């Protein structure tokens, strides 16, 4: 099992929300370093906890809404049992980490890198120009984190 | 002064809803309603689209059960093409449909309902959640995750992705199964079946503790509707429609799914965006029926797989005679169906013909009307399309599994509220039971209401004039 897992998530048909899955696509195209695995998901679902178990580091990539479009931010994540969602089909990354710690003894060191989107209208894997520019900056942050 | 209690949103279900309980002057229940308050309108905005887009479009109804919509929608398209799909194409579709049922039932039982079942309806709501379950029974929680993962992995192996796969197409499936993929799926099944059997055995030890809830959680004498095989056995993909009453009498049998309109009418009420389907011969609102795992097991003599048939026999013994009427036993029925699903997937995968490369019939549309019916995790799912000469949708109707249960859910809420809610001293545990009876049905409201957006859970108390006098939210 690779020690670092990157999970890019978001809807591919809601404009800039696709930035997470597209970032993963870009990373895989350019080649991942040894020890790094990247997967794309529509939403974070319960079974992803088994993917996190046993990893040293997890990097979540997501679009953000609100704030200045194009802004890229890196957040350190901690397991959070209070983050549990009322919805059945998607989870918060901090909730996933809490599941992981509770069920498998430990959770990986984790980060969330977000890029603020400008437009979330229907568009299949098509980013706005500002999100497209932010995607490159997001990938730079990913490279900084996996190179630890 | 009479009051109304509103529970909003109803938690640990898929989608967003509100419950209102109307109390009279004496604090006793006068009425109870289950509201879907948001609207999406798939039936309208799909008009004018090419029929071949319907599987992909209607699958977007839901992130939980897209596979169910893909199956029913493609069956409606098969009907438009007027083709019989190749047997191997049908078997492959069956595997995906069963994998969807396994993963969906696992989510319902392990993640949504187990906090009530393990920790109790009156336990602290702050810890009555999946984390509470993990603390009390981590093995059960791990089993739930693994079982869901097995179902999702089978869907992904077949369809290329877990959510919204495009492998099922009008006329069959787009690609045959490779030997490697078959082997990888077969490898998962022993572990899945082991988990399913272990959970079933565990639940059997737990179930006797819930005699009181089983006696009050939706025990109304309704009808039961489902697909069955022509021989009257369990069926999730094709077959014929059967309606049975609460005494076990078969009222309708061997009804071709295309004739669903003879059995089912759809009413609307101004307090909900969910339709109110009813059994036409009995009229509205008397024609209450239930669908889903409870109805499916009530309607059949056998599942057709070894361990599930043992479990089915035990399920039928939950009552002295007749169909099992308590909606509480949806939980039990789900576990039986998980076992069945895994056993049947294994049987289908071991069929040598499953690797046949003829998996798709090709044709243009040859009818103006197509109807596709299958069993989704929550019950019978119906897609009905009409097209013009250019193959564009002129009209469509979706009768959603959760919608069939709408009348029954409303009645169940009334029954539970009458049994547990004292309007003079409302406690959280009372209201949780009102929510829990809804969870028995595992409603998928995104599908049923085509709801969009998010609502928090709230309970409102209204006076006789309908004014809100108290409100509890979380």
B188 inside domain: yes
Domain tally for chain B?
Answer: 1
Selected for mutation to probe chain A from B62, B156, B163 (highest A CB count within 10 Å) is B163
pLDDT for B38 equals: 61
Work out the minimum CA distance from B402 to partner chain A, whole angstroms: 15
Is A4-146 assigned to CATH 3.40.50.1450? yes
Give the residue among A148, A134, A129 at the shortest CA–CA distance from A64: A134
One digit per residue, the tens of pLDDT, for chain B of length 474 reads 667 777 776 665 666 678 888 888 887 888 888 887 666 678 888 899 999 999 988 887 776 778 999 999 999 999 999 999 999 999 999 999 999 999 999 999 998 889 889 988 888 888 888 888 899 999 999 999 999 999 999 999 999 865 566 899 999 999 999 999 999 999 999 999 999 999 999 999 998 899 998 999 999 899 999 999 999 999 999 999 999 999 999 999 999 999 999 999 999 888 888 889 999 999 999 999 999 999 999 999 999 999 999 999 999 999 989 999 999 999 999 999 999 999 999 999 999 999 999 999 999 999 999 999 999 999 999 999 999 999 999 999 999 888 899 999 999 989 988 888 877 777 777 788 888 888 899 887 665 543 333 333 455 656 666 666 565 554
Domain containing residue B400? 56-352+361-422
pLDDT for B220 equals: 87
**Rounded-to-5 percentages of helix, strand, coil across chain A:** 35, 25, 40
Please state, in angstroms and rounded to a whole number, the distance separating the CA atoms of residues B20 and B31: 8
Please list the rounded mean pLDDT of every run of 10 residues in chain A (148 residues): 92 90 94 93 88 95 92 94 62 91 94 94 85 95 81
A-contacting residues in B 432-461 (Cβ below 8 Å) = 454, 456-457
pLDDT for B453 equals: 31
Contacts B149 to A, Cβ<8 Å = 47, 50
φ, ψ at B435 (rounded to 5°)? -65, -40
pLDDT for B474 equals: 45
Work out the minimum CA distance from B419 to partner chain A, whole angstroms: 26
Q: For residue B9, give every residue at least 6 positions away whose Cβ sits within 8 Å of its Cβ, in sequence order, or none.
A: A86, B16, B17, B18, B454, B455, B456, B457, B458
Q: For residue A20, give every residue at least 6 positions away whose Cβ sits within 8 Å of its Cβ, in sequence order, or none.
A: A7, A8, A9, A10, A40, A60, A61, A62, A63
Determine contact, residues A96/A104, Cβ cutoff 8 Å.
no
Please state, in angstroms and rounded to a whole number, the distance separating the CA atoms of residues B297 and B329: 11
Work out the minimum CA distance from B224 to partner chain A, whole angstroms: 26
B449 inside domain: no
pLDDT for B21 equals: 84
The CATH number of whichever domain residue B337 belongs to comes to 1.10.645.10
Q: For residue B419, give every residue at least 6 positions away whose Cβ sits within 8 Å of its Cβ, in sequence order, or none.
A: B216
Please state, in angstroms and rounded to a whole number, the distance separating the CA atoms of residues B122 and B106: 24
pLDDT for A85 equals: 61
Helix, strand, or coil (residue B376):
strand
- Residues A74-87 pLDDT 10s: 999 999 877 766 55
Q: Concatenate the DSSP letters of all residues of A68-106 into one string.
A: STT-EEEEEE---GGG--SSSS---HHHHHHHHHHHHS-
B138·A50 Cβ contact <8 A: no
Q: Show the tokens assigned to B80.
A: 């438009």
B23 inside domain: no
């Amino acid at each position: 099992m690779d020690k670092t897992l990157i999970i890019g998530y978001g809807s591919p048909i809601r404009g800039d929300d696709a930035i997470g899955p597209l970032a993963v696509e870009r990373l895989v195209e350019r080649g991942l370093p040894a020890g790094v695995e990247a997967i794309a998901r529509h939403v974070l679902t319960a079974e992803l906890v088994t993917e996190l178990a046993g990893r040293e580091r997890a990097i979540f990539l997501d679009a953000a809404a609100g704030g200045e479009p194009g802004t890229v931010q890196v957040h350190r994540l901690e397991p959070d049992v209070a983050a549990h969602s009322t919805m059945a089909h998607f989870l918060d990354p901090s909730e996933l980490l809490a599941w992981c710690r509770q069920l498998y003894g430990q959770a990986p060191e984790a980060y969330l890198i977000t890029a603020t989107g400008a437009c979330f209208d229907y568009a299949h894997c098509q980013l706005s120009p500002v999100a497209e520019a932010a995607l490159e900056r997001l990938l730079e942050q990913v490279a900084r984190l996996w190179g630890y | 002064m009479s009051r109304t209690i509103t529970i909003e949103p109803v938690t640990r279900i898929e989608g967003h809803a509100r419950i209102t309980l109307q109390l009279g002057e004496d604090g006793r229940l006068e009425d109870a309603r289950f509201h879907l308050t948001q609207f999406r309108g798939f039936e309208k905005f799909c008009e004018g689209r090419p029929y071949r887009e319907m599987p992909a479009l209607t699958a977007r109804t839901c992130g939980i059960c897209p596979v169910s919509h893909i199956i029913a929608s493609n069956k409606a398209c098969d009907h438009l093409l007027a083709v019989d799909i190749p047997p191997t194409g049908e078997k492959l579709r069956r595997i995906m449909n069963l994998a969807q049922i396994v993963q969906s039932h696992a989510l319902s039982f392990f993640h949504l309902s187990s906090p009530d079942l393990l920790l109790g309806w009156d336990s602290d709501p702050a810890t009555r959640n999946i984390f509470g379950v993990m603390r009390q029974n981590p093995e059960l929680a791990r089993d739930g995750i693994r079982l869901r993962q097995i179902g999702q992995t089978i869907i992904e192996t077949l369809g290329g992705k877990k959510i919204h796969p495009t492998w099922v197409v009008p006329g069959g499936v787009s690609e045959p199964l490779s030997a490697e993929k078959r082997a990888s799926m077969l490898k998962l099944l022993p572990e899945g079946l082991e988990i399913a059997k272990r959970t079933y055995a565990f639940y059997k030890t737990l179930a006797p503790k819930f005699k009181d809830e089983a006696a009050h959680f939706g025990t109304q004498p309704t009808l039961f509707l489902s697909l069955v095989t022509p021989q009257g056995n369990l069926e999730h993909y094709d077959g014929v429609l059967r309606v049975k009453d609460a005494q076990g009498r078969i009222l309708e049998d061997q009804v071709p799914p295309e004739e669903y309109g003879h059995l089912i009418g759809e009413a609307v009420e101004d307090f909900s965006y969910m339709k109110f389907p009813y059994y036409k011969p009995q009229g509205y609102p008397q024609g209450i029926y239930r669908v889903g795992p409870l109805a499916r097991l009530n309607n059949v003599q056998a599942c057709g797989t070894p361990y599930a048939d043992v479990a089915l026999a035990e399920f039928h013994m939950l009552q002295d005679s007749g169909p099992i009427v308590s909606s509480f036993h949806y939980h039990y029925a789900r576990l039986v169906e998980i076992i069945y699903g895994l056993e049947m997937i294994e049987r289908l995968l071991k069929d040598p013909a499953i690797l046949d490369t003829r998996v798709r019939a090709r044709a243009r549309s040859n009818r103006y009307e197509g109807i596709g019916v299958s069993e989704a995790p929550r019950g019978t799912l119906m897609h009905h399309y009409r097209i013009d000469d250019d193959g564009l949708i002129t009209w469509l109707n979706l009768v959603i599994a959760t919608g069939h249960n709408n009348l029954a859910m409303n009645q169940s809420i009334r029954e539970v509220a009458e049994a547990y809610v004292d309007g003079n001293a409302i406690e959280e545990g009372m209201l949780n039971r009102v929510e829990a009876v809804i969870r028995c049905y595992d409603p998928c409201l995104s599908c049923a209401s085509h709801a969009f957006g998010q609502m928090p859970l709230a309970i409102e108390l209204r006076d006789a004039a309908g004014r809100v006098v108290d409100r509890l939210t979380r």
